[in-house]
Amino acid sequence: MFSKLKLITGNANIPLAEEVARFAGIPLGDIELFKFSNDESFVKINDNVRGADVFIIQPTCYPVNDSLMDLLIVIDALKRASAQRISCVIPYYAYARSDKKDQPRVPITAKLVADLITIAGANRVITVDLHAEQIQGFFNIPVDHLFTVPIFARYFKSIMNLDDVVVVSPDSGGANRARALAKRLNSGLAIADKRRSGNNDKTECMNIIGDVQGKNAILFDDIIDTGGSLIKVALELQKKGAKHVYAACAHGVLSGNAVENLENSPIEKLYITNTIPLTENKKSEKIVQLSIAEMLAIAIKKIHIEESISILFR
């Protein structure tokens, strides 16, 4: 049944790809992927992929442009090697926050990336917790959009007393995401009124809408980058009387001084997933990483045999 299924990984997150392969019971394909001295990337697929259903596991994380270019080159190599279907498993989709033209003369880079992946020859994309769900519509090929809410919900149920938990969205745009987790935990919901005055962490938390007094607050977002926005909301939650403040984010970008900022913040624990590898310089006693490997393995095998993946949303 799975004889035509092939798994290939780029260099962006090899540990995740190896874990997915173990759960799927399918070995990773043999691939050479490296840079020449002139900084140009080179790819060679050493396995026979003619007529195969190939899944490339490659988040477009740091270094973002290298990871994206490697993905495009691997797609092209597979297409020219006569793979029957090429599916890109992109757990972290870079440039997702550039999803609309909100200023004069700026690009919609998320759409550009979608076009590049499609034109390169991909037949399908599997991704996790897109910053904006409408990015699915930027593709003219099928997109399977998976969510980490079930993974976080199961974990929190196993470690917390949920009687006094409130899930907090750090802004109004993430309210649906936070509501989905609150529903699974049967907990309250609060929303931060946040004003952004520039890029990255230039934000101000104006107010918290909802009851957080004496509660264990879980700040729930899709991405933690510098951590500035989440920390400002955490400080406001502390002022409003939250008993404990935790944060949960699918994608731990953790750029710049994010880990140092986290260490000096009221956030007691940050829960992230392994969509992006957690390098040694970003590890902290405050950071707990959960795995999405089993979810991806199930999705890959079900897509291969043309079955519904709705079980992953339950």
Q: Tell me, what CATH number does 184's domain have? A: 3.40.50.2020
73: Cβ contacts below 8 Å, ≥ 6 apart: 41, 42, 43
For residue 223, list its beta bridge partners: 251
Inform me whether the pLDDT recorded for 136 exceeds 50. yes
Residues with catalytic function: 194
Could you read off the pLDDT of 229-267 as tens digits, one per residue? Answer: 899 999 999 999 999 999 999 999 999 999 999 999 999
Inform me whether the pLDDT recorded for 199 exceeds 60. no
Q: Do 105 and 163 fall into the same domain?
A: no
Average pLDDT, the chain: 94
The reported pTM is 0.94
Mean pLDDT of 155-165: 93
Q: Do 143 and 90 fall into the same domain?
A: yes
pLDDT at 88: 98
Q: Do 279 and 303 fall into the same domain?
A: no
Percent of the chain at pLDDT above 70? 96
Q: In the Cβ-directed half-sphere of 308, how many Cα atoms lie within 13 Å? A: 4
pLDDT band at 201 (very low <50, low <70, confident <90, very high): very low
How many structural domains is the chain composed of?
2
Q: Do 306 and 279 fall into the same domain?
A: no
Question: In which domain, by residue range, is 123 found?
Answer: 5-147+293-313
Q: Do 143 and 178 fall into the same domain?
A: no
Edge-to-edge strand ranges of the sheet holding 124-128: 5-9, 53-57, 85-90, 124-128, 143-146
Q: Do 283 and 255 fall into the same domain?
A: yes
Q: Do 284 and 305 fall into the same domain?
A: no
Q: Do 155 and 125 fall into the same domain?
A: no
Mean pLDDT of 34-41: 95
Mean pLDDT of 197-205: 57
Q: Do 121 and 199 fall into the same domain?
A: no
Q: Do 130 and 259 fall into the same domain?
A: no
Q: Do 138 and 266 fall into the same domain?
A: no
Q: Do 218 and 236 fall into the same domain?
A: yes
Inform me whether the pLDDT recorded for 204 exceeds 80. no
Mean pLDDT of 153-166: 94
